[in-house]
A and B are shown apart, each in its own frame.
Chain A
Amino acid sequence: MEIFWYIVLMFMLGVYVILDGYDFGVGIIHLFFAKKEEDKSSITKSIGPFWDANEVWLIAAGGVLFFAFPTLYASSFSGFYLPLIMILWLLIFRAIGLELRGQVNNSMWHKIWDKAFGISSLLLALFFGLALGNVVRGVNLGVVENGISKYEAIYFFVPLWNSEFSPFSERLGIIDWFTILVGIVAVVALTIHGANWVIFKTNSSINNKLKDVVLKLTIVLCLLVVVSVVVWSSVNSNPLQNFIDYPLLLIFPTIGLFGLINLLRIKKFKKDGLGFLNSSLFLFGAFASTASALFPVLLPSTNSVNPSLTIYNAAADSYGLSVGIWWWLIAIILVGIYLIIQYRIFKGKMDHVPYGHH
């Protein structure tokens, strides 16, 4: 039962990364590469009807986390208090940047909201990367000092940073050199993903230039992936043990690498959607690999006094989890239908979708 809900949770978070991930990437492309007004307009239109539904995957995943693993929800949301609230603020800026831009026809107004959309997308990609880095690195559960827990075993609090910026420090911060590395990986990966979406869904004049960008960033990303895996094995002990014990899990890194290496051939793709497909494969593979490496741990403990939070000690009671399966299955089928309807209606290039025009 716990495993079912673990897969559900990771599935929903993974879908979130792929779907809202392209929104963030599109925001970054919009911020750095779109200069002409028509391009900016095509680029925002390409996510216009989708971004809100994409964001719901985060909210729904949060709901599932709350209900299936309440201990983890309570522990991590209060422990990562500041970055989470800042993510909320950024989500607000991203949303109003997109939705309020078209309300007034004035170039200063447009500039303000374009920047709000672009900068908050960039920071969101960075923050989600930092968050992933923090979860992988682990936290000081129970706030242990000199071998004694200051709080109950599941609670902790991580400030934004401390003076050492090190994942090995006694007092951890959200930002250290390891989490920053993961943050940069996230920004690069999502920029590629967003560029692929723009190539896929628009006829903007920068599409060819974006293919160069994808190619260059893919090379950077390959290096970053190698570096992070190496560094990871110094931060966690034996992060790859699960893959040795359960070789079947190797399918995830394989899918990820397949997508990543394919992206190097971006310029030869015949169909505009192939780049997007491959960056989706990469994100899926990378996310699933990270989750499988941690499994069954959800949040590692960095001290030896309190145990890590796992899917077993953080789960809700079995009756609740078993009734949940029924409504969740019904709901996810409905969600699938909505997605099909949505993507069928807005299939193909979206430069002329009537979004944001009044």
Chain B
Amino acid sequence: MEDALFYDRMQFAFTITFHYLFPQLTMGLSLIIVYFKGKYLKNKIEKYNEAAKFWMKIFAINFAMGVVTGIPMEFQFGTNWAKFSELTGGIIGQTLAMEGMFSFFLESSFLGLFLFGEKLLGQKLHFLTGFLVFLGSWASGYLIIATHSWMQYPVGYEILENGKFVLNNFSALFSNPWLLPSYLHNQAASLVTSSFVVGGIGAFYLLSKKHLEFGKLFLKTGVVFGLIASLLVAFPTGDMTAKNVVKYQPVTFAAMEGLFDTEQGAEIVLIGQPNIKEKRLDNKIAVPNILSFLTYSNWNAEVKGLNEFDENLYPTNIPGLYYSYHIMVGLGTIFIGVLLIAIIYLYFKKLYNVKWILWVIMFLVPFPYIANITGWYTAELGRQPWLVYNLMRVSEGASPTVSAGNTLFTLLGFIGLYLLLGLLFLILVGKIIYKGPQTQKV
């Protein structure tokens, strides 16, 4: 049983991590494409339509990858987490079923029209189909995060004698205080990824002196969208999300920050390695009082450390949680810094000629993916050892009859299949990027 649980967790972690590489681009990129298409409708400059068409080609492959790796996620609730599904299905099944009914049908019905229907539909309707695909993908994110929020901060439920969770307040699922900050934080973060992809490819074209017209457009769009989104990720959405953690999961917050002892005027840790046995951070670099201020808007406020809590309630993997959180925050800060410099160059009309910043933006493309994934690890590792916070442990949720051998078999299968998918994705998207936007009409 112990073994089976381990492989169940590995399989979920692996498949969700791989899956989320794609939707984060889908959600942000659909917005940027709608922006290009809208620009074209307004000013009729062909460049914008070509830009939209170019990104739609990448969008199509990315979307397909997101769909095919997404279906296993919904199935796995039942296949690997049957006990969890049995007990909570009446609640999280609501939001997951709504995702299928409201967003998947919307996306899938209009995606084909959006990708292939430009001539059939005319420009205005074509824009509309793009908008509907965007709407579907953002609705999907909303309903997934509503599900996630219930697991982090369960509301609107009661527990029956047989252990089943039943819903007693539908609207509570959507007024959950965890939901809105997390959703906006996540959507802004997905826009950061997409902005860096668009801007990074713009930088690539400028550096390789190809498709200069589009290189400039992509870079400028990426930098502007990216800066707005990066700022929104930090404030107010990141700040609100963190305050939720402080309020509802204080032990998680202490572990994230690597705070072992309760402090007044708590310092913020920039670098350091948690040493769980000795209950301290090694090689610490920290700035005093900042954490208290960020948390309670008071330089001397008391922030609770891990020592205040029962070890039984500690997150299962404190170092993993601590690093995930610090990588996310560190990268987010770097993005804001780089994009601020870029926007200053853009303002003085020098951006396209400053080589070093083009190189930096190009090489930063993978990092928002890492920041998004580590952000999700922070949320998920932070919830551990709970599946439903404070109510149901991860160890209580797995399928009772599925053996470790069977799960390892399917995990290996997923690894092999996803490696193939990843390879195909890189080859095909690489080909489209290399070919560039203008060769389109052939």
Contact = CB atoms under 8 A, between A and B. Distances in A.
A269 B131 CA distance: 42
Nearest to A60: B100
A56 B96 contact: no
Nearest to A353: B116
B109 A341 contact: yes
Given A92-B417, A96-B424, A103-B61, A74 B85 contact: yes
Contacts of B170: 320, 323
Contacts of B166: 316-317, 319-320
B101 A60 contact: yes
B78 interface: yes
A78 B93 contact: no
A70 B89 contact: yes
Nearest to A357: B116
Contacts of A56: 100, 104-105, 108
B167 A317 contact: yes
A76 B85 CA distance: 11
A66 B85 contact: yes
B99 interface: yes
B57 A358 contact: yes
A323 to B, nearest CB: 4
Most chain A Cβ neighbours within 10 Å, of B68, B160, B402:
B68
A331 B93 contact: no
A131 B115 CA distance: 34
Interface stretch (B69-77, B234-242, B295-303): B69-77
A279 B110 CA distance: 27
A71 interface: yes
A177 interface: no
A205 interface: no
A178 interface: no
Interface residues of B, number: 68
Interface string A56-88: 100110111011101101111111011011001
Given A59-B71, A78-B79, A52 B93 contact: no
A104 B125 CA distance: 29
Contacts of B399: 74, 78, 81, 155
B105 A84 contact: no
A66 B91 CA distance: 10
A355 B116 contact: yes
Contacts of A99: 60-61, 64
Contact of B109 (A63, A100, A342, A355): A342
Contact of B72 (A88, A332, A353, A358): A88
Nearest to A66: B93
A156 interface: yes
Given A331-B101, A339-B109, A68 B93 contact: yes
Nearest to B420: A96
Contacts of B75: 62, 77, 84-85, 88
B193 to A, nearest CB: 22
A77 B97 contact: no
B276 interface: no
Given A63-B74, A84-B79, A52 B61 contact: no
B82 A75 contact: yes
Interface string B408-420: 0110010001000
Contact of A81 (B108, B120, B121, B402): B402
A104 B431 contact: yes
A64 B97 contact: yes
B167 A319 contact: yes
B375 to A, nearest CB: 26
Interface string B7-45: 000000000000000000000000000000000000000
A351 interface: no
A27 B336 CA distance: 49
Nearest to B169: A319
B101 A78 contact: no
Contacts of B184: none
Contacts of B400: 78, 151-152, 155
Contact of B79 (A85, A156, A324, A339): A85
Contacts of A219: none
Interface of A: 48-50, 52-53, 55-56, 59-60, 62-64, 66-68, 70-71, 73-79, 81-82, 84-85, 88-89, 91-92, 95-96, 99-100, 103-104, 143, 151-152, 154-157, 316-317, 319-320, 323-324, 327-328, 331-332, 334-335, 338-339, 341-342, 345, 353-355, 358
28 contacts: A49-B113, A53-B105, A55-B71, A60-B100, A60-B104, A62-B78, A63-B97, A63-B101, A64-B101, A66-B92, A67-B97, A68-B93, A71-B86, A73-B86, A78-B78, A81-B399, A84-B75, A95-B67, A99-B60, A100-B61, A104-B428, A156-B401, A317-B160, A319-B167, A323-B167, A327-B98, A331-B105, A338-B106
Given A60-B101, A85-B79, 14 more contacts: A49-B116, A68-B97, A70-B89, A70-B93, A74-B86, A77-B77, A84-B75, A91-B68, A155-B400, A317-B167, A320-B90, A323-B170, A342-B113, A345-B120
Ranked 6 nearest A-B pairs via Cβ: A70-B89, A77-B78, A67-B93, A63-B97, A49-B112, A60-B100
Interface of B: 57, 60-61, 64, 67-69, 71-72, 74-75, 77-80, 82-83, 85-94, 96-102, 104-106, 108-113, 116-117, 119-121, 160, 164, 166-168, 170, 399-403, 406, 409-410, 413, 417, 421, 424, 428, 431
